[in-house]
Chain A
């Protein structure tokens, strides 16, 4: 997936856990949990949704790298290029 596609995946996963948000209005640099008022269960569901869509394994210690929209896209882009072994 290219960066744009990954961004769409992330936004779609976020709107899944927070249905009332407008994906286009997410501030890409703001902390997602605060910006979207999502809790740890929502965040876990978000990570699961991203994993299921991309096949990328996201270890728990990397969760902080997904704390913003931009951060998540960068992380996923790098994870993809780190190797096909992380994809199913």
Chain B
């Protein structure tokens, strides 16, 4: 069961879309999982043949539970001694002495699948506890292995140090609905609402408890961007028009790419910079709650691609389905509460991310420039950042870069 967001502890396998013997390719959707927030399409992380489905549909299991086994290397040349092909990253692991076609466990199809990431602390723990990292299911971002994952495996195999928390229970017997349901008569919708509030509450409490937030704000003159946008939209049909929020996202993506100290995760007492800029877009759900799936590689998107991506993401978050990689990948979150008339956002960071950028409404305000006061559309951009990973000086630079980008809309 992949971790589809840091606030997820359990998931229900709603549906298997593959059966034993099926050949799958990396990125294929193999199952649908219900978190407390949404139904998520779970992608497979490597090519292979499904060997066995271990968790029945309708079963609620903790994150980290093995859902199925995958046979790799069944076709084509067998990969090198390790059973797990690591095509792109330098292999951080000792290859396990196993046959080329030994089944591997499908547990964390989330995230870029080509890399086996583990935090230094997790590696040390693995060494101490004599745990093969290859047998560990990562529950961190991008499927990264964190210390708790190693301890879980160690505990399950009886190598538990005294301080190790108890391992998650083995897969529970199939149940038709979340076990939190007191009875069949409860309103499923309100139950999901309650579960979502609980998940958000737990994650935000952890954020406020663990992350030393600092906050910065810039007021940004939006005249140049909005003038450009107005002209641009005049020549566009309604179906291809751009929203101001797309300009904001574009500016953020470029600014974050230039200040990578805000783009990544705080895991096991260290900052891990992410490779791509995957903007988590905070999307409010109709009826309450929110979800912040990723727009992948947003810094490399054109405005049109960003607009299409945003529209697609919002629609699927609200009415359809999100994919597992979108749930686990965001490297920094952006929230725009301008539509609600909010002036300024004081963000709460999504652990294990280290920053959140907020935008209020774009409003006409008195604005002094060149010794004159005029009325200009102004947006208040805010940064909430993790002081363990960065300082206000760097944060100021990030906001200044966003500002600068928005002053040169024609330069995209």
Contacts and interface: CB of A to CB of B under 8 A. Distances in A.
Query: Do chains A and B stick together as partners?
Result: yes
Interface of A: 18-20, 33, 37, 39-41, 44-45, 47-48, 51-52, 57-60
A48 B286 contact: no
Contacts of A48: 238-239
Given A20-B286, A41-B314, A45-B311, A59 B243 contact: no
A33 B339 CA distance: 9
12 contacts: A19-B286, A19-B319, A20-B287, A39-B284, A39-B340, A40-B243, A41-B311, A48-B238, A51-B237, A51-B238, A58-B238, A60-B234
Contact residues of A: prevailing secondary structure: helix
A65 to B, nearest CB: 14
Contacts of A19: 286, 319
A52 B100 CA distance: 55
A18 B233 CA distance: 25
Interface in B337-386: 338-340
A60 B310 contact: no
Contacts of A40: 243-245, 338-339
B272 interface: no
Contact of B243 (A33, A41, A51, A52): A41
Interface residues of B, number: 21
B230 interface: yes
Interface of B: 230, 233-234, 237-239, 241, 243-245, 284, 286-287, 310-311, 314-315, 319, 338-340
Contacts of B241: 44, 60
A59 B234 contact: yes
Given A39-B339, A51-B238, A60 B286 contact: no
B158 to A, nearest CB: 51
Given A19-B286, A40-B245, A41-B243, 14 more contacts: A18-B286, A33-B339, A39-B339, A39-B340, A40-B339, A41-B311, A44-B241, A44-B311, A48-B239, A51-B237, A52-B239, A57-B237, A60-B233, A60-B241
A20 B241 CA distance: 26
Given A41-B311, A60-B233, A47 B238 contact: yes
A6 B400 CA distance: 47
Contacts of B237: 51, 57
A60 B230 contact: yes
Contacts of B233: 60
B145 to A, nearest CB: 37
Contacts of B243: 40-41, 44
B209 to A, nearest CB: 31
Contacts of B286: 18-20, 37
A43 to B, nearest CB: 9
B305 to A, nearest CB: 16
A18 B284 CA distance: 13
Contacts of A20: 286-287
